[in-house]
Amino acid sequence: MTQSDPSSPRYDIPPELQGQVTVTTLDRIYNWSRSNSIWPMMFGLACCAIEMIATASSRYDFSRFGMEVMRASPRQADVMIVSGTVTKKMVPQIVRLYNQMSEPKYVLAMGACASGGGPFKEGYTVVPGIDRFLPVDVYIPGCPPTPQALLHGLMTLQRKMQQETMKKSPWYSEKTSTPIPVPILGPDLIDPRQYDLIHQQNELASQPAETQPEEESHE
């Protein structure tokens, strides 16, 4: 047997070893093992969580893909499924849980609410998409998505993981990962990453308005 990837170097295997030895790459083995041992975090936000529970039940059974171990602790999980309406009150907790997850970690935005606010987008209590605070890897449309849609999203995440390489993976670089600042919930939701922009807007608002010159009367 030889490698199936045409861009990689080829190695001839003696006929007596064919069927017993397979030549592959470390990236392929590493990504295959990671993509088939996904540990989602066990938490839900709204009605999408009911569909997520149904996906884990015996009718659909995503344990066939090696992702049935849903962990109650973020330190033992590597996939966050944001399933449901993301309110401003919940965003600090979601970001805090994401920071506590182990690297490499991934985020799935399940449903219209998590992806863009859904039917509550214009509400004053709802965030128009979790991607404003967390890096989202896969978006799953629907309101709510069916279990088949969630399975498709998880398989899409598997394909993405299988295309990664250890040489360019940020979690293997010398640089340490920087945690995302936890938003502050006050009269409204404040993202600490926007402090400079908020300060500039406050300075512009505090400056007195320029007086317009009075028009000369021609009477």
Averaged pLDDT score across all residues of the chain: 83
Q: Long-range pairs for 27-31 at CB < 8 Å and ≥24 separation?
A: 27/164, 27/165, 27/166, 28/162, 30/166, 31/161, 31/162, 31/163, 31/164
Q: Does residue 138 or residue 63 have the better pLDDT?
A: 138
**pLDDT tens digits, one per residue of 5-48:** 555 566 677 777 777 777 778 888 888 888 888 899 988 899 99
Amino acid 81: pLDDT: 94
Q: Please, which residues have CB within 8 angstroms of residue 148's CB and are 6 or more apart in sequence?
A: 60
pLDDT in tens, 55-64: 988 888 888 8
Q: What domains does the chain contain, in order, with CATH numbers? A: 1-25 (no CATH), 36-172 (3.40.50.12280)
Dihedral sign of CA atoms 49, 52, 54, 56 in order: negative
pLDDT, one tens digit per residue, over 104-114 is 899 999 999 99
Predicted local distance difference test score (pLDDT) of residue 66: 81
Which pLDDT value is given to residue 213? 53
Q: Using one digit for the tens of pLDDT, what is the confidence trace for 159-181? A: 999 998 888 777 777 777 788 88
pLDDT digits 0-9 by tens, 200-218: 877 888 777 654 555 555 5
